[in-house]
Chains A and B, each alone.
Chain A
């Protein structure tokens, strides 16, 4: 079957389950959520689990089943990594709580995604908000690392653990999409996508879509696409720094920040991936030393210090290590 529409969407959007019934895995979670829909009542919820396992999708599906097609007007969607601080969140929640609740369901839903990115202080403020608006709203907090959520919030929420997706789950879904889209593919290529994406469905589907645009989806095209998606500048930056060219390395770093829009933490994570790659030719003991200093820089970034300065410090250190190697 190869019938296509003119307009195409990202497959992560196009093939997202819309209702709780559409969700094929996370069975235990889904069953418990369906009870909330039947009873038209629920506590605050905390969804925790690795990226790409369906947490946000489940929250939307739940709201869809509660409120119907136009569920988004009864749901406030916030993303802690995009909102600038608890004050913005507080204002939005206040405003939203004022609007009326739909008929038949006595509460509206506030979805706070990536809530483990909030500082402890912000979480305490959030806890007060949850208490304040508990009569008219329910919070669904989504997090990768539940241990980063403060206890007083955890104790106010029903906890849902999303398990990593199995190989069968991911490969099965990829095959389903590939068939629907008329994509030409090798079976092993889908396995490779699963390996690379480490159970993250979002990443797996993105890789599939990009690889299919190159032609037949094979192991080669999969690796090619994954390699291309990682900015070349990261490796170039590393190479130049280690060769002692600080200024050249820093130009690459700024390109990553300003042209690709990556944050300091994004770049640190990508460097971390690169330094253990066999394609980067450095002594094994240096890989560990770099990781060690990288961790320190990462910590300073988390503490809120300046991205450009921290990465410059990293590059200056790499340049020094490079010189000592010579």
Chain B
């Protein structure tokens, strides 16, 4: 058994007949490519193949290209999505002549991944290429109905790929078992097929995982190892599978088969590890793994290198399992992430703080972050000073702080500050009112005007006098 080549590559169909099912797709795509091969440009110069993952979209294109003796130029849309990238790659390829073969076919995967927010002009650039290409252009997509590729839909030959039947997958698995000289229980293959939910790629990967792990493919082994793909492991079972995994691949599988995405999983792991691991050494290694995982995620996001993601799975699966070397596993139950609960609980406080930071950032000409780090702490001191609430009250008036914000700053001293504000207002209501122009105008009032007003207020006498009079 050659472990180095993934079976999904080794058993990739070479001829169109070897592609399972998808007769309609085969017919319409063969006709379309046939036109190109005869030197005629079809009405629609591009085809959009759509359907769930692992049903043979790419395989069929490759097999057909071989049949008509076309070279295939594969581009992954996630690598080239911006306008300039597309013009530079697809645009250039669309006008090229093939080097060795009869024709050149351009295959662009995951075209539904184009994000109109980040990949500005990407779709427009593709449309231009589609209209003018002198080579056949094939796109694939899982979800062709996304709004951003609507214009593309209108110009392309739409070719649907259906979910594969269980029977089709079983016969594919059988073919592989024969090729690998593996003893395979037919019931076990059925079980794998059933749980693959029509995804041949997933089924072949599962077969290989079972065969390499156990050397035989029987129903009980399959039942124990392969839980259905996608939405099958809920969060609790994911956590448990990672903590108790015996081998690295089991922990890895728990991550890839979890119903939650890896970022959610990290949040849950981060809150639940200290419940299960008790030794500081274990805890440290576990967090170091999580820390490196989030670093890796950040890198893959900024560089666009999604090929870095598998390492994340390694770190948050086996990385957590085998962080534990010395200590035992505590019996404590898993729980909801405290972080999420706290964030919800403190949402209002956060909003008040953000609003205040925004207002003061504009007034003191600095960033919200500086306000939070360097101004709010001092304001809090002033507002919580029980012996002298007058200054706090005057600042509250100066910035027209509402009750909630005053409460945020003053905490236990809130009543004191609010009362003082009332007292000042009663003493000199007209000045206070004057300080309060309509909100619309207020934003345009310059500081100079406001300072001028302050000066005017100044001339009316000291605050101590107001208070004495009241």
Contact = CB atoms under 8 A, between A and B. Distances in A.
Interface of A: 2-10, 12-14, 16, 18, 56-57, 60, 69-73, 77, 79, 81-82, 87, 113-114, 119, 202-203, 206-207, 209-210, 212-215, 225, 228-231, 244, 246-247, 250, 254, 258-263, 266, 297, 300, 303-306, 308-310, 312-313, 315-317, 319-320, 322-323
Between A9, A14, A119, the greatest number of chain B beta carbons within 10 A of the residue's beta carbon is seen for A9
B378 A225 contact: yes
Contacts of B381: 210, 213-214, 225, 228-229
Given A3-B461, A320-B283, A258 B343 contact: yes
A114 B367 CA distance: 8
Interface stretch (B98-106, B237-245, B285-293): B285-293
B302 A16 contact: no
Interface of B is mostly: helix
Contacts of B343: 258
Between B297, B338, B374, B461, the greatest number of chain A beta carbons within 10 A of the residue's beta carbon is seen for B374
B377 A300 contact: no
B431 A6 contact: yes
B363 A10 contact: yes
B382 interface: yes
Contacts of A207: 378
Given A312-B290, A319-B284, 14 more contacts: A2-B462, A7-B431, A7-B435, A8-B398, A57-B365, A73-B444, A114-B367, A214-B387, A254-B338, A260-B372, A303-B295, A304-B299, A312-B270, A320-B280
A304 B295 CA distance: 7
Interface in B438-470: 444, 446-449, 451, 454-455, 457-459, 461-464, 466
Interface stretch (B54-62, B131-139, B179-187, B346-354): B346-354
A266 B354 CA distance: 16
A210 to B, nearest CB: 4
A6 B377 contact: no
Contacts of A57: 365
Contact of A310 (B284, B294, B435): B294
The 4 closest A-B pairs by CB, nearest first: A304-B298, A8-B394, A5-B457, A313-B291
A203 B367 contact: no
A316 B278 CA distance: 11
Given A6-B424, A316-B284, A206 B373 contact: no
A258 B428 contact: no
29 contacts: A3-B459, A3-B462, A5-B454, A5-B455, A6-B428, A6-B432, A6-B435, A8-B398, A10-B364, A10-B375, A13-B363, A18-B448, A60-B365, A72-B444, A72-B446, A79-B361, A113-B365, A206-B378, A213-B382, A261-B376, A304-B302, A305-B291, A305-B297, A308-B267, A309-B266, A312-B270, A312-B291, A316-B280, A316-B283
Between A18, A82, A262, A300, the greatest number of chain B beta carbons within 10 A of the residue's beta carbon is seen for A82
A3 B385 CA distance: 22
A202 B365 CA distance: 11
A113 B281 contact: no
B224 interface: no
B404 to A, nearest CB: 15
Contact of A82 (B286, B361, B387, B447): B361
A261 B353 contact: yes
A202 B366 CA distance: 10
Contacts of A263: 369
B457 A6 contact: yes
A297 B287 CA distance: 12
Nearest to B383: A213
Contacts of A229: 377-378, 381
Given A247-B274, A316-B280, A320-B281, A79 B357 contact: no
B360 interface: yes
Nearest to A260: B372
B368 interface: yes
Contact of B369 (A16, A82, A316): A82
B283 A319 contact: yes
Between B364, B388, B463, the greatest number of chain A beta carbons within 10 A of the residue's beta carbon is seen for B364
A16 B365 CA distance: 10
B444 A6 contact: no
A300 B298 CA distance: 9
B448 A69 contact: yes
Contacts of B379: 10, 210
Contacts of A16: 364-365, 447
Contacts of A315: 287
B342 interface: yes
A326 B349 CA distance: 39
A25 to B, nearest CB: 17
Given A258-B346, A304-B298, A209 B378 contact: yes
Contacts of B301: 304
Contact of A309 (B291, B432, B451): B291
B339 A308 contact: yes
Contacts of B354: 261
Given A5-B457, A300-B295, A266 B435 contact: no
B233 to A, nearest CB: 22
B364 A12 contact: yes
B295 A4 contact: no
B385 A214 contact: yes
Interface string B90-114: 0000000000000000000000000
A245 to B, nearest CB: 10
Contacts of B302: 119, 303-304
A292 B362 CA distance: 37
A197 B372 CA distance: 17
A316 B285 CA distance: 8
B324 to A, nearest CB: 13
A4 B377 contact: no
A322 B424 CA distance: 53
Contacts of A214: 381, 385, 387-388
A262 B369 CA distance: 8
A127 B298 CA distance: 25
Contacts of A261: 350, 353-354, 357, 372, 376
B439 to A, nearest CB: 16
A221 to B, nearest CB: 10
